[in-house]
Amino acid sequence: MTRKVDEAIDALLAYLLPPQCTLCGAAGVDRLPLCAGCRDELPWLATACRLCAQPLPVAGVCGHCLRRPPPQDGAHAAFRYAPPLDRLVQGLKFGRRLGLARLTGALLAQAATAQHWPRPDLLIPVPLHDTRLRQRGYDQAQVLAREVGRRLDVPVNWRTCQRVRATAPQSGLDRVARRRNVRGAFAVTKPPGVDHVAVLDDVMTTGATVGALVTALKRAGVAQVDVWTLCRAGR
């Protein structure tokens, strides 16, 4: 039902407002507000660490993950966190531009398909804490996950996990402090009852936040937990 409504809204918007490229104003392609030229110039992430999605010259496992393997089984990012993705993500986060969620969700879904990311049984967006959710009005990981799920036909569930503790912003903290800051931040309120989950976020930096959620899901009995993210920021 929701999907039919979403598709009807897409079709209606495309009819009423033929999409213009959000970056340069040229005509969009694939009913998205992005032109072919700007799409090709985006900082697509081609080769990365398979455990943390850190950009690497050739695909493999990075030094950090060799020394201290992260809790997730795999990690995938569509882009490096570089212009103009930083602008798109900031708009997604603070500008309340749900249209950007459609665009970035479509791009993430394209990357997942083109690069054959293993298809999970369920997508779980990294939850915001209630106070932050109330301040912001909506949860960008959730709207992104809904768009990706709709396009890839993977169910999305944002009710199985909760952020039980508000955490200080991660920016400005080093790796160890970030891990400490988010330890125990998530609780799985209802085990998802599937074998393979991908947790989804808009930006991954050190992976500490998403790692805390992965750990909670593994403890709740999920055998394989991957991380899907729109962009990977370098460390």
Return the bridge partners of 70, or none: none
Return the bridge partners of 224, or none: 196
Give least dist CB 21 to Zn ion, A. Answer: 3
Binding part of the chain for Zn ion, among 32-40, 93-101, 191-199, 226-234 by CB under 5 A, reads 32-40
* Phi, psi values for residue 156, rounded to 5°: -120, 135
Nearer to Zn ion, 192 or 207 (CB): 207
Binding part of the chain for Zn ion, among 16-24, 155-163, 181-189, 193-201 by CB under 5 A, reads 16-24
Told to check if 206 binds Zn ion by CB under 5 A, we report no
Residues 41-100 touching Zn ion, rule: CB under 5 A, are 49, 51-52, 54, 62, 65
Half-sphere exposure of 23 (CA within 13 A, CB side): 21
Return the bridge partners of 49, or none: 60
Give least dist CB 132 to Zn ion, A. Answer: 28
* The token pair that represents 58 in the structure block: 């050739």
- According to CB under 5 A, which one of 8, 26, 46, 98 is a site residue for Zn ion? 26
Whole-angstrom Cα distance, residue 167 to residue 209?
10
Binding part of the chain for Zn ion, among 14-22, 82-90, 132-140, 178-186 by CB under 5 A, reads 14-22
Return the bridge partners of 67, or none: none
Give least dist CB 191 to Zn ion, A. Answer: 28
**Of the candidates 99, 97, 95, the residue with the CA atom closest to the CA atom of residue 9:** 99
Binding part of the chain for Zn ion, among 35-43, 123-131, 189-197, 223-231 by CB under 5 A, reads 35-43
* The token pair that represents 17 in the structure block: 């407002």
Binding mask 163-192 for Zn ion (x = CB under 5 A): ------------------------------
Q: Which residue is listed with tokens 């009995």?
A: 221
Nearer to Zn ion, 11 or 24 (CB): 24
54, 77 Cβ separation under 8 angstroms: no
Q: How many CB atoms lie within 10 A of CB 178?
A: 22
Interface contacts to Zn ion, rule CB under 5 A: 21, 23-24, 26, 35, 38, 49, 51-52, 54, 62, 65
